[in-house]
Chain A
Amino acid sequence: MNLDEFERRMRRVPRREIPAAWREQILEPLRHQEAAPAIVWWKQWLWPHPTAWASLAVIWLAIFALHFAAAPDPVAPSAVLAKPAPEMLQAFEDRIRLMAELSPESPERETEPSPADRPRSCRCTAEVAV
């Protein structure tokens, strides 16, 4: 039996017709069906695992909350700009005066000449007197 001949014989056998009633039964429910809305691209990332993403967001919020709760209190601007107390000012001025007195460039110390600057005759007289 030739294969081509056999194949031709098979192809001539008509297949059963689809029941005519099926057309309306299948298509009728679909006539008023609306197409499903297109999924936005970002939903394709989030939608399969909304619980996982929500949990991750909660964890990050908790991390931020703990971070800001542990941070030291910032200095209030009013404290920075407040005038210092009078006692502090007085102490500050005393300190400046003392530093000025102790400084080699202070005017009091300039009235006394250094021993190296005095003439030799005066230096000898001072030593003998002692």
Chain B
Amino acid sequence: MSINGNCKDYSELLDAYLDDELSADEQSRVELHVQSCRDCKNTLEETAALLQNLKSMPKKKSARQLDFGFLDNSVSPACNLESSSIDAYFDNELSDSERLAVQKHLDTCPDCTARLADINSLVFELKALPKLSLKADLIEKLDFTRQAETVSTEAANYKKGSQRHRTVWFGIGGAAAAAVAMFFMVQKGPQETPLVENFSVGKEIVKASKPANSERAEQSVGTDLPVGETAKDKVPAALLAEDNQKEKRIESAAVITSEKKNKNTIAESEVGTELALMPDSDDTAAEALGIGTDEDGLYDIKI
């Protein structure tokens, strides 16, 4: 912003001009200058807009009456500064003209000055909070040699047996394999109620969670499978249970069959641990009514 000698004189007058404190002669001189000087014109417009904003803001705490114009110096102006201005001023996030306006306001407003002091103390306390650090170097355990999906240490242990199945897909792949396992197990074993009609991961595991079948489901998990899957290496119940936390978050990276991700997650967290009844997950009835589930696995009922 280039300020020639003239502008320097005028910039002081601009404020007074807006405050209606100039003589008629001075006023017209300012107006004349502003017509030809873009910098001063901009400054004037910005300040005018800001003052207009200040004027139109609803009053906050102060009970004093607003008297725009700051002409009467015997009464301190009401504090109608936009509420976040003091914070932004403290944070040095205001434009030059805004900052000047707030500075000017602070000169006459004890409430805002007190607020500024409060902000100062509060931020000081926040900054004084100890900076916490990790006890161990978590990054050391991570393995970034793979190009695409990366792996975590625990997941790295599951790599054996399958190169194709990335470890981040472990849980879902494992669950899918478990479902396959159960499906085949049921077919081979004594004729009990078949778990599912259509092969679908979430539903299968959910149905397997009924108490009568729970034991069988648990047993079939982790045993040898007739299918060529390498699920055996991946499915040990204990590991699945341990890895619950990871799976739930890596769910987004998984390949899902027809089921939504969340049901999968909830389901696989149950496999291998106590298979609690989850009445809400049995959504065949819901689907029959045309009610689907939303992304959180909750019934998506449109009102």
Does A pair with B?
no
